Chains A and B, each alone.
Chain A
């Protein structure tokens, strides 16, 4: 997910790429560990996961259109992981961001990849898609039917 955060121009890309690769490697390893630990539940209809803030989620809506069958189904463990990870980054609204003067005058704040609109989609029974643009994780999770999986805590 580190790839979602970069924000500066190409002149800054190479050092950031190295950092991104390292962060990405750690993230992949973490997901792999998480996946291994949940292998037995990965194919269950209602999968659960942990986000970086240690909240567990499970899918309750058929938001996946299976590429093999074309049928709508609930997301499995890995897919819930992926959605939660994406939403956590894209819908982030960090606080206390540092303010910095601009050379040409004025004060600026780097939003660190947050505060963007995130367009979500879930399939309707007739094959069309219902969309919603959200700005927070909780709103996105609600729309996609991801709920905290209290039963595992």
Chain B
């Protein structure tokens, strides 16, 4: 198919040269060349000879071959998106990594202050640095290091039809992105910058509490920022432009509205049972649930029927985690007539993040209200204010996109407690639709890495990556109606300059391209060619793109083409 398209393009180009007398004159597309450097020894990993049946478009006949094809497929997806004159070398192997470890990838090196570096004193992932410099800064080294597990049963198909298995291609797209630029290097433990300099990822991180970007902050401020849930955003033009076409309206939020001392948006965990947040939205006062203290339990754990059900009815019940399952607590809150339930961490999880709450398969069906979890400090802060009135909302904010802030900037993952590099180097998990660069690989991801399906490529563009665009018409080659468009300011047919402005359409074709295409299609039939030109130019007139007089100039020039 691709070969056929290429032949067609060549033919069109040949006719166009004769027809218009002016070629596009541009260089070939500069898709980044990805090289998978297989460092496995014979019989292992990529070289595993175990026979394998072709699966999901992966035509490999051995396990090793299928692994390599999946790698090459993921690399090809990135190759179609990224423009670089310097090959990107991925040093890769499959090795035993232990249960639960799927694989890893990251940049081999970083570079700063190289030729053409956009920002001085700033680290760049080496593949990006090479692209920007136009030269391989470390020609003796590879650019990305990738290690994946021989123990893990990946789905090796290329069609994303992975079922319950983990899709290797999606994992590779994610990890390669970290190697290409989607990660930061500052220490989240002490806030220090990597070797005394910020990295390019840092420069786009905006902390909404301070109004500062990460390079502008002190080390202590960076540490605090890394745990500011929902308060760190990516301040880059391409990602922000992509947010409205990728993320859906309706941001799930847990907010305390009053008293002012504890008002704000809270980090929360969701439940795997009961209605989802926003179904319905709940705005109510918070009441601490009281129940019987079972042997080993407490009166705050919500593990028995609430003794203050009358006070809880219609309100948001606040209960403490522990002693019984989440679903038991939520069921008791439901049966007490609560509108929603908040479960905050117990002392044993004093520094833990709000958990995702799994059901038990028994009580789940009796939960009729939204349930969320909070970290312990937040639960205690609410509890301390219950001598007065605490009003909270649990639901979707219809004006904010899920995964963005109120100004439409993508939120970066910044949960409490700080969780190493996972924080900050991913998009926030509240994003909807799910994004490739959230910390988890969600089952509904596509293999498309750009808007409208994703925002990974947009983030890399904000850092300096560009897409392959041979004719510089701002349409990527693989989406371009003609990757080598005739961008002459006016339409020239044969030796005749019509003087008619040569409009560039959003799909990457110009008027001259379309006329050349007609000439190619009807090269042996002048009558058919003129009919097609008439139809096309009439449409342009109808669309208000050209005047009737301009139409006449085009048709007159076209009439002389084959004479």
Contact = CB atoms under 8 A, between A and B. Distances in A.
Contacts of A104: 114-115, 133, 135-137
B420 A7 contact: no
B355 to A, nearest CB: 12
Given A11-B140, A135-B183, A140-B101, 13 more contacts: A3-B93, A8-B140, A10-B37, A82-B96, A83-B101, A105-B133, A111-B106, A115-B106, A116-B106, A121-B102, A129-B166, A134-B421, A143-B100
A139 B108 CA distance: 22
A105 B114 contact: yes
A102 B86 CA distance: 15
B88 to A, nearest CB: 13
B99 A75 contact: yes
Interface in B93-126: 93, 95-115, 117, 123, 126
Interface string A91-116: 10101010100111111111101111
B138 interface: yes
B420 A134 contact: yes
A84 B100 CA distance: 11
Interface stretch (B73-81, B171-179, B462-470, B548-556): B171-179
B268 to A, nearest CB: 18
Interface in B167-220: 171, 174-175, 178-179, 183, 185, 187, 194-195
A107 B112 contact: yes
Interface residues of A, number: 66
18 contacts: A3-B39, A7-B145, A95-B187, A105-B137, A108-B110, A108-B126, A109-B110, A109-B194, A111-B108, A119-B441, A125-B358, A126-B164, A133-B174, A133-B175, A134-B420, A134-B421, A139-B422, A142-B419
Nearest to B179: A116
A17 B187 CA distance: 32
B433 interface: no
Contact of A134 (B136, B164, B422): B422
Interface string B210-233: 000000000000000000000000
Nearest to B141: A8
Contact of A85 (B91, B98, B129, B165): B98
Given A11-B140, A105-B133, A108-B126, A91 B195 contact: no
Interface string A1-12: 001101111111
A136 B420 contact: yes
A117 B295 CA distance: 44
Contacts of A63: 99-100
Name the residue in A8, A85, A106, A136 with the highest tally of chain B Cβ atoms < 10 Å from its Cβ. A106
Contacts of A137: 420
B416 interface: no
B419 A116 contact: no
Nearest to A63: B100
Interface in A1-52: 3-4, 6-13
Interface of B: 37, 39, 89, 91, 93, 95-115, 117, 123, 126, 129, 133, 135-138, 140-142, 145, 147, 152, 164-166, 171, 174-175, 178-179, 183, 185, 187, 194-195, 358, 419-422, 425-426, 439-441, 443
A9 B102 contact: no
Contact of A8 (B100, B106, B137, B142): B142
Contact of B420 (A8, A10, A106, A138): A138
A64 B102 contact: no
B420 A9 contact: no
Given A4-B95, A108-B137, A131-B441, A13 B166 contact: no
A151 to B, nearest CB: 17
A86 interface: yes
A150 interface: no
B100 A110 contact: no
A52 to B, nearest CB: 15
A14 to B, nearest CB: 12
A63 to B, nearest CB: 4
